[in-house]
Amino acid sequence: MSVVSNIVLSSRVRRSPYFAATQRYGCKAYSVYNHMYLPLYYESPEADYWHLVNGVTLWDVAVERQVEIAGPDAARLVQRLSPRDLSSCAVGQCKYVMMTDARGGIVNDPVLLKLAEDRFWLSLADSDVLLWAKGIALAGGYEVEVFEPDVSPLQLQGPLAATVGEALFGAALNDLKYFRFAEFDLDGMPLIVSRTGWSGERGYEIYLQNGADGDRLWETIMEAGRPHGIAPATPSAMRRIEGGLLSYGADMTLENNPYEMNLGRLVDLEQEADFIGKAALARIAQDGVRRCLAGLTIEGGREAAAGLERAAVVLDGQSIGRVTSVTYSPRLEQTIALALVAAEHSAEGTALTVQPEGQPEGQPGTSVRNARVSPLPFVSKKTV
């Protein structure tokens, strides 16, 4: 990551219900995600990371906008939108799903929450699934309502998240299994809490259902967390790349399919339902993919990651792929990356080089770095 400029607040980009709190707590950088400001770091990306992996952190992820699909045809539409077989999904369950277009390209990778037999939330990555789902519902004649409800998630993440969660919600929270959610009331604020998150650490997502309570919810959680050293933080590129978690827009786009992301397990071709992309994905499953996601360890210290965004991945002077996400891992003391590479060169241990975008390929220079294909994740999940 390299700082290039000032961000200018405009009224075109939405502010989260926690925006004022993030300003008050010293958020130093923002990006834009789902047409809303997304906090990027407080102390520094690395200091925030240590709070996350050693303690407990609170993130404003209101940018995870929800698409609510409700009505008699809701279950049928949600299944139409997702290659994953949802027939056994229970009320109270979350599912990580790929949404695909007719060519099998990835539209989004939300977490699905089944609120009732006829009511669902898609908790989104950065694309307007609201328009996609509305378009399919309208032209396909589904009897549903599709809309963006007033719902703004926070993430409470880190090894002490369960301790803070119990202080807030009582021991009942401990009964919540991984990828399950339940309703809780906190000082009169009706919340949905799921045992999910984008950190690879133990954690929860807390879905506020009334934006006007944003500041109060933030402070209530901060107060409960203070004895446990809670820190404000943000989705950590360092931790999520360690964990092999994908970022839509960086590691995958509409140009990629789930098989390229090694996520064939999220495509259930055997199910009866004719989800969007089924025929295309069946062909891809049969033919195999030409490129796929791979982990890379890259030589060089802390400074190696800078400049390697979208770097070319080179083997024998030929470009065989591209870095999609890169970071220094403070815990591994190594630069690590996710890359989309030619499938035939994705085997663990393959020696490669990476070189910055724009630099002529195959022309070794000072910023060419040796790399090696590594198994994913770099650091396993610690969600229990």
Which residues make up the interface to a second copy (CB under 8 A)? 1-14, 20, 23, 27-32, 35, 40-41, 101-102, 107, 126-140, 237, 247-250, 254, 276, 309-310, 323-326, 358
Are 352 and 345 in contact, with CB atoms under 8 Å apart? yes
CB of residue 184 vs a second copy: minimum separation in angstroms?
28
Cβ count within 10 A of residue 179? 16
Q: Which is nearer to a second copy, 162 or 294 (CB)?
A: 294
CA nearest neighbour of 66 among 11, 111, 113, 124 = 124
Bridge partners, residue 193, by sequence: 182, 206
Measured at the CA of 288, the angle between CA 286 and CA 293, to 5 degrees, comes to: 140
CB of residue 195 vs a second copy: minimum separation in angstroms?
26
Q: Which is nearer to a second copy, 4 or 347 (CB)?
A: 4
CA nearest neighbour of 213 among 232, 181, 190, 184 = 190
Residue with tokens 């008699």: 72
Q: Rounded CA gap, 155 and 38, in Å?
A: 13
CA distances from 169 to 162, 177, 192, 221, 326 (A): 10, 15, 11, 10, 37
CB of residue 226 vs a second copy: minimum separation in angstroms?
25
Q: Which is nearer to a second copy, 169 or 248 (CB)?
A: 248
- Which secondary-structure segment (H or E) carries 283? helix 278-287
And the tokens for 245?
Answer: 């978690």
Q: Which is nearer to a second copy, 5 or 366 (CB)?
A: 5
CA nearest neighbour of 294 among 271, 267, 326, 266 = 326
Q: Which is nearer to a second copy, 196 or 247 (CB)?
A: 247
CB of residue 66 vs a second copy: minimum separation in angstroms?
15
CB of residue 295 vs a second copy: minimum separation in angstroms?
16
**236: number of CA atoms within 13 Å, CB side?**
33
Give buried/exposed letters for 117-131 (b at 16+ CB in 10 A, else e).
Answer: eebbbbbbbbbbbbe
Spell out the residues 6+ positions from residue 72 whose beta carbon is closer than 8 angstroms to its own: 118, 143, 144
CB of residue 151 vs a second copy: minimum separation in angstroms?
16
Q: Which is nearer to a second copy, 33 or 50 (CB)?
A: 33
Q: Which is nearer to a second copy, 186 or 326 (CB)?
A: 326
CB of residue 185 vs a second copy: minimum separation in angstroms?
26
CB of residue 274 vs a second copy: minimum separation in angstroms?
12
CB of residue 237 vs a second copy: minimum separation in angstroms?
8
Cβ count within 10 A of residue 355? 24
Q: Which is nearer to a second copy, 137 or 192 (CB)?
A: 137
Q: Which is nearer to a second copy, 28 or 283 (CB)?
A: 28
Sign, CA torsion 194/65/336/318: positive
